[in-house]
Amino acid sequence: MEFIKVKSSVPSSQWQPFPINCLPPTMRDIAIGVQNTIGLKDSSTPAIASLATVSALIGASCKIRIKPGYLQPAHLYTVIIGKSGQSKSGTKEYLLDVVQNKQSEWYEAWDHKIQNYERDLRDWQLVKKSERPECPSEPNPPKRVIVSDITIESVGQRLNENPFGLLLYNDELETFFGNMQRYNNGKDLPHWLSIHNGQPLYIDRKGQNPIRIAHPSIAIVGGIQPVILKDRLKENPDYLHSGFMARFLGRVGTNLALYYRNRYSMRYGMDSSTY
């Protein structure tokens, strides 16, 4: 593997537009096509959404070796920041419709199997116990790619069923951030940091067997309004101090921690040197 050092003439603290030309040709064409179809000012929003979707489909199938001893999973944490009415939802749904439709096909096939299973089970129960054949087997849960509004425990359950990975799609990521605080008093945050790094995921469940995912893979995509994100960061500075927000690829720039360090750290008295 060849390592190339890239020199930038733009100061790291200065906002830079999304590097659309760095995308593979097909993804670049899709992003620009969605931009023109919806009438967006630039292609950063569809580019972010397409990156998240593709990274989820790659999932746990491979990792890239950045350097000896350092492997990085394919999944990306992404967020589209924009005010209400700036086509955040429409852009994501435009790109995710294909995956949603495929997931619907899987669910319909599973529903058909469940109906047959329930019918066979009723027939089996009518047979005398001494004459019963082998009990019908319940179908496995349907394959899924897209999930939403889930806690870390349900993430573990869904990953158990779909070991190749998932895409957490939430139209408003306010719900995602809110759930981390609401259900586990912020204890989900370390798990999301570990998932991003591809480290094994261990989840203890009260009264049930613990969950272990050796190679967790879950990408994130969603939208949020600037004011709401600002409030969430103010409520829980750990999102910044832990490096969680730095792991997000966002429409406002490639490093959200840097963006919010410049925009809000002085206003709220945060120590930007720790970001």
79-83, 84-88, 109-113, 174-178: lowest mean pLDDT where?
84-88
At residue 91, the pLDDT reads 67
Cα separation, 59 vs 53, whole angstroms? 10
- The CATH number assigned to the domain with range 20-123+137-269 reads 3.40.50
At residue 181, the pLDDT reads 64
Its pTM stands at 0.78
- Bridge partners (DSSP) of residue 249 are 78
- The pLDDT tens digits for 178-191 are 777 665 565 788 88
Place of tokens 């101090």: 241
Cα separation, 116 vs 103, whole angstroms? 20
Residue 100 has pLDDT above 90, yes or no: no
At residue 254, the pLDDT reads 40
- The pLDDT tens digits for 25-49 are 988 898 888 888 888 887 888 888 8
Place of tokens 């910044």: 240
Residue 18 CA, distance from chain mean position: 20
Which two structure tokens, joined as six digits, stand for 69?
Answer: 């001893």
Q: Where are the domains of the chain?
A: 20-123+137-269
Place of tokens 């963006």: 259
